[in-house]
């Protein structure tokens, strides 16, 4: 089940702005011999905030899930880095798994939408910044040093960025450079608003590399997909693609700092350009950049493997996948399979490798890789969801629904089981809408899971249930399913009664706007 990469797609640019990084900066900390792991407080945010008030330290809150590949990427790399571990000693670190008690409520309070999210908080719970999951391990300690001494809230910083960019100081620019721009629904649910601010920052940034960085992010956010799934750019945007990408792709440092955007956004931007020598030039340079990312042993397995998305996306837009590219994909997928030897590393990278195989045309190889992982993984339901997706793309509706059902039944954790039940029900609604018994059964599964978790109708659970309710209502209108919808609403009312202050919002899940 591929998670949309943009949720986790912002890398730091501190390496691009040495003049800023040196201003008021101390040497990187040396890890203590005793600091071999992060002293996480697990699940108790109130306790962490209370300790922060007593100690004066800020809180670093990590929100994740055991099944989430980018979360496991962080565990396998960042959370083992000695400098990062040492830097967390300046904070009260708290780990909040999305399935722990009150996790979704905290997600609602802090405006968290995606796993993983890392937020730095003042002792009073005010947010200082949120940091991208794609941050390179050697860069994050530098940013944390800045964040540890901050008292300015992210709201105040964003207001200053919107109204008076000239007043931004060096530390402000560091925070903005490392901010998780595409994982903050409270401030940036509107892509147009996000893109406008990023354009302002691109124009005002004190270094050319940083100007290009913000400009590329603005393009990625503002690019609109058509009904065919392809990005459409206006003439001004087309000109900016070459303007931003050409110098980025000519600089090894900028390639690494913008690696996530180059991997997941740039191919669509390049293929949206009219066919021309310039487009061909950018295509070649972008492929070379992907190869450089793969060759960088300082990056995670996932970042290195996913760099091949550049080749596959560009080739797919231009026609059939050439045999040479398929061989390249197979080689790197095999490398990932062999290199990821522990369960955390495998959970971070195997799904990405399988999708690359599938997208490159080796569907049998992709399914074989995931099927083998079902026996190895502690979270096989994640791979079952991907197998459901593969079956749907191949037109095997029955198999897609069956894999979705198996994934739900194998899922673990209250919030995760609600989410996977929704995935199962959505598959039924989408693929076998004529099967009223299956619609009713899968819908009852969703409601049953919610009923097991009183006072949990918050954030991810709330958003996903509301979207599911809309799809169920649309199904009812299209397939004369009023009786089934009525039965499910009755059951849902009982489940919602246990949702405390969220009961009214819960009950509105399937009502027409």
Domain 1-187 has CATH 3.40.30.10: yes
Q: Are 290 and 307 in contact (CB under 8 A)?
A: yes
The C-alpha R_g of the chain, in whole angstroms, comes to 23
Query: Picking from 114-128, 311-325, 336-350, 388-402, which range would have the lowest pLDDT averaged per residue?
Result: 114-128
The predicted structure's pLDDT at residue 191: 86
- Token duo for residue 140: 């994050």
The predicted structure's pLDDT at residue 82: 87
- Token duo for residue 484: 């089934």
The predicted structure's pLDDT at residue 31: 39
The predicted structure's pLDDT at residue 434: 97
Query: Picking from 29-38, 51-60, 219-228, 288-297, which range would have the lowest pLDDT averaged per residue?
Result: 29-38
- Token duo for residue 67: 């099944």
The predicted structure's pLDDT at residue 510: 63
Question: Which band of pLDDT confidence, cut at 50, 70 and 90, is reported for residue 343?
Answer: very high
Q: Which residues, at least 6 apart from 332, have a Cβ–Cβ distance to it below 8 Å? A: 294, 305, 308, 353, 356
The predicted structure's pLDDT at residue 19: 34
Q: Is 128 helix (H, G, I), strand (E, B) or coil?
A: strand
Q: Is the pLDDT of residue 395 over 90?
A: yes
The predicted structure's pLDDT at residue 377: 96
Region 342-357: mean pLDDT is: 96
Question: Which band of pLDDT confidence, cut at 50, 70 and 90, is reported for residue 23?
Answer: very low
pTM of the model: 0.89
**What is the crossing angle of helices 343-359 and 380-393, to 10°?**
0
Q: Are 59 and 94 in contact (CB under 8 A)?
A: yes
Region 498-504: mean pLDDT is: 91
The pLDDT tens digits of the residues spanning 447-493 come to: 999 999 988 899 889 999 999 999 999 999 999 999 999 999 999 99
The predicted structure's pLDDT at residue 134: 54
The predicted structure's pLDDT at residue 230: 83
Report how far residue 407's alpha carbon sits from residue 460's, in angstroms, rounded to the nearest whole number: 18
The predicted structure's pLDDT at residue 180: 87
The predicted structure's pLDDT at residue 133: 58
Of 487, 465, 467, 474, the residue nearest 415 (C-alpha): 465
The pLDDT tens digits of the residues spanning 149-189 come to: 888 999 999 999 999 999 999 999 989 988 888 888 888 88
The predicted structure's pLDDT at residue 21: 36
Query: Picking from 21-35, 47-61, 243-257, which range would have the lowest pLDDT averaged per residue?
Result: 21-35
């Amino acid at each position: 089940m591929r998670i949309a990469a943009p949720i986790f797609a912002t890398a730091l640019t501190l390496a691009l702005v040495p003049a800023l990084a040196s201003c008021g900066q101390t040497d990187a900390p040396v890890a203590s011999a005793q600091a071999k792991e992060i002293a996480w407080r697990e699940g108790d945010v109130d306790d962490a905030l209370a300790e922060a008030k007593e100690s004066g330290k800020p809180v670093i809150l990590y929100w994740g899930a055991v099944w989430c590949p980018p979360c496991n990427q962080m565990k396998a790399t960042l959370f083992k880095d000695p400098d990062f571990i040492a830097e967390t000693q300046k904070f009260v670190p708290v780990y909040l798994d999305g399935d722990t008690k009150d996790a979704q409520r905290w997600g609602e309070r802090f405006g968290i939408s995606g796993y993983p999210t890392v937020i730095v908080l003042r002792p009073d719970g005010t947010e200082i910044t949120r940091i991208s999951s794609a941050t390179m391990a050697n860069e994050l300690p530098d940013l944390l040093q800045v964040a540890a001494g901050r008292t300015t809230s992210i709201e105040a910083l964003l207001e200053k960025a919107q109204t008076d960019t000239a007043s931004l100081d060096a530390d402000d620019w560091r925070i903005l450079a490392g901010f998780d721009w595409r994982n903050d629904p409270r401030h940036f649910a509107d892509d147009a608003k996000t893109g406008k601010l990023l354009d302002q920052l691109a124009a005002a940034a004190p270094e050319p590399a940083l100007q290009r960085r913000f400009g590329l992010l603005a393009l990625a956010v503002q690019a609109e997909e058509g009904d065919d799934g392809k990005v459409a750019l206006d003439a001004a945007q087309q000109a900016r693609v070459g303007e931003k990408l050409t110098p980025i792709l000519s600089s090894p440092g900028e390639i690494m700092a913008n690696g996530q955007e180059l991997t997941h956004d740039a191919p669509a931007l390049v293929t949206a350009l009219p066919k021309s020598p310039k487009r061909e030039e950018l295509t070649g340079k972008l492929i070379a950049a992907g190869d450089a990312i793969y060759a960088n042993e300082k990056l995670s397995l996932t970042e290195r493997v996913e760099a091949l998305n550049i080749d596959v996306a560009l080739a797919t837009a231009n026609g059939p996948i050439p045999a040479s590219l398929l061989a390249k994909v197979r080689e790197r997928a095999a490398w990932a399979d062999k290199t990821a030897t522990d369960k955390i590393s495998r959970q971070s990278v195997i799904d990405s490798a399988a999708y690359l195989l599938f997208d490159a045309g080796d569907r049998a190889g992709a399914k074989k890789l995931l099927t083998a992982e079902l026996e190895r993984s502690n979270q096989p339901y994640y791979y079952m969801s991907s197998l459901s997706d593969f079956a749907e793309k191949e037109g095997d509706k029955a198999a897609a629904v069956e894999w979705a059902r198996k994934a739900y039944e194998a899922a673990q954790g209250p919030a995760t089981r609600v989410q996977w039940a929704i995935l199962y029900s959505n598959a039924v609604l989408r693929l076998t809408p004529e099967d009223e018994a299956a619609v009713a059964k899968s819908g009852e599964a969703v409601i049953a899971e919610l009923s097991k978790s009183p006072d949990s109708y918050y954030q991810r659970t709330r958003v996903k249930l509301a979207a599911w309710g809309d799809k169920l209502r649309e199904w009812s209108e299209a397939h004369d399913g009023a009786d089934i919808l009525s039965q499910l609403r009755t059951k849902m009312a009982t489940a919602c009664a246990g949702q405390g202050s969220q009961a009214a919002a819960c009950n509105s899940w399937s009502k027409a706007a």
